[in-house]
Amino acid sequence: MRIVACSTVLAFALVTQGALADAPPPKPAPAPALAASTVADLKSGDASKLRGALDDVRMGGKSNAHLAPTIADLLQRGLPPSLTEAAVTTLGDLESEAGSTVLASYAQHRNLKVRQAAVRSLIKTKGAVAIRALRRALSDSDPMIRGVAANGLGVLKAKDALPDLSVALDHGINEAAISIGLLCGPAECEALSTRLGKLPFDVVTGGLDQAMFRADLAEDSKIKILGKVRELGTAEANKYLRDAQKRAGSLSPRLKQAIDQAVSATPGGA
């Protein structure tokens, strides 16, 4: 009887384990609803209440996106310097395109920290207005803003910004290379590869690597990229090609063969 009982328990445990494995993962708990007093505090004009309300709204993230117009209006009317950066950051965390217009204006603010916060937030609020502001921010006097803007244009898939990114890369905004690699068509990818030997190797290959492993880029373009790396004929090129060789599992047989041949043709490949 004891053996039968143990077997029954074991069978039940296995069935239960299988059912749990097949069950969908639990949904995350919804963000708690904002108290009515929090919304009232946003409109109170009291600096201490407003700061606490912004913190509460930010903690809820996208679930509080309906408040984006309210916070945008506060920024439009103007806030004390101590609250401006917090409001800009909160607006970004709501991830609502309704915040992009006012954030675009704050991306040109005289205060550096506010400008930095606005450019970071624009990447989250997205939309055509955000993209235009990020393109403009490529010319900001602050190198961090220029780098964040270049990265953001890639994140937002702003293909129209490719000419701006190309100019930015030639002016030392290295983050532009990654975005070019994410966005480039055959001609732009080839133009990026011609910078090998002119710009730092790791900067250019950082962008070329994005292009190489994109599913939407034609295979012939990837072969040309490999050819440009191979033509360098340096140990640095060989090291990059060897690394690509290790990650080539998702690539076509033709591309794998081209990488293998490029590895063999560069110093250290034997």
| Res 155: pLDDT | 98
Question: Within this chain, do residues 79 and 160 fall inside the same structural domain, yes or no?
Answer: yes
Phi, psi of 97 (to 5 degrees): -60, -20
Cite the DSSP H helix spans in 138-198: 143-155, 162-170, 175-183, 186-193
Phi, psi of 147 (to 5 degrees): -65, -45
| Res 106: pLDDT | 98
pLDDT grade, residue 33 (50/70/90)? low
| Res 23: pLDDT | 55
Pick from 157, 183, 209: which residue ends a domain?
A: 183
Question: Within this chain, do residues 105 and 166 fall inside the same structural domain, yes or no?
Answer: yes
| Res 215: pLDDT | 94
Pick from 183, 213, 240: which residue ends a domain?
A: 183
Share of the chain above pLDDT 90, in %: 79
Q: What is the pLDDT of residues 36-45, one digit of tens each?
A: 778 888 888 8
- The position carrying tokens 């939309």 is 127
Angle (CA) 52 55 61, round 5°: 150
Question: Within this chain, do residues 69 and 160 fall inside the same structural domain, yes or no?
Answer: yes
pLDDT grade, residue 168 (50/70/90)? very high
pLDDT grade, residue 82 (50/70/90)? confident
Assess if residue 143 is contained within a domain: yes
Assess if residue 2 is contained within a domain: no
Q: What is the pTM of this model?
A: 0.84
> Given its phi and psi angles, is residue 109 left (phi above 0), alpha (psi -120 to 50 degrees) or beta?
beta
Q: Which three-class secondary structure state does DSSP give residue 168?
A: helix
The domain tally of the chain equals: 2
Q: Helix, strand, coil: what percent of the chain each, to 5?
A: 75, 0, 25
Assess if residue 139 is contained within a domain: yes
Assess if residue 9 is contained within a domain: no
Assess if residue 28 is contained within a domain: no
| Res 25: pLDDT | 61
| Res 214: pLDDT | 96
Whether residue 21 is predicted with pLDDT greater than 50 in this model: the reply is no
Assess if residue 106 is contained within a domain: yes
- CATH number of residue 170's parent domain: 1.25.10.10
Question: Within this chain, do residues 170 and 147 fall inside the same structural domain, yes or no?
Answer: yes
Question: Within this chain, do residues 153 and 224 fall inside the same structural domain, yes or no?
Answer: no
Question: Within this chain, do residues 169 and 137 fall inside the same structural domain, yes or no?
Answer: yes
Pick from 136, 164, 183: which residue ends a domain?
A: 183
Share of the chain above pLDDT 70, in %: 87
Question: Within this chain, do residues 244 and 165 fall inside the same structural domain, yes or no?
Answer: no
Assess if residue 262 is contained within a domain: yes
| Res 36: pLDDT | 75
75: amino acid identity, one letter: L
Question: Within this chain, do residues 107 and 175 fall inside the same structural domain, yes or no?
Answer: yes
pLDDT grade, residue 30 (50/70/90)? low
Mean pLDDT across 253-263: 96
Question: Within this chain, do residues 158 and 200 fall inside the same structural domain, yes or no?
Answer: no
Question: Within this chain, do residues 160 and 243 fall inside the same structural domain, yes or no?
Answer: no
Question: Within this chain, do residues 92 and 168 fall inside the same structural domain, yes or no?
Answer: yes
| Res 26: pLDDT | 61
Whether residue 143 is predicted with pLDDT greater than 90 in this model: the reply is yes
Across the chain, mean pLDDT equals 89
Whether residue 20 is predicted with pLDDT greater than 50 in this model: the reply is no
Question: Within this chain, do residues 159 and 213 fall inside the same structural domain, yes or no?
Answer: no
Assess if residue 161 is contained within a domain: yes
Whether residue 46 is predicted with pLDDT greater than 60 in this model: the reply is yes
Question: Can you give the residue range of the structural domain that contains 247?
Answer: 187-270
What secondary structure does DSSP assign to 57-104, as a single string? HHHHGGGGGGGHHHHHHHHHH---HHHHHHHHHHHHHTT-GGGHHHHH
pLDDT grade, residue 22 (50/70/90)? low
Whether residue 266 is predicted with pLDDT greater than 50 in this model: the reply is yes
pLDDT grade, residue 27 (50/70/90)? low
Mean pLDDT across 154-183: 98
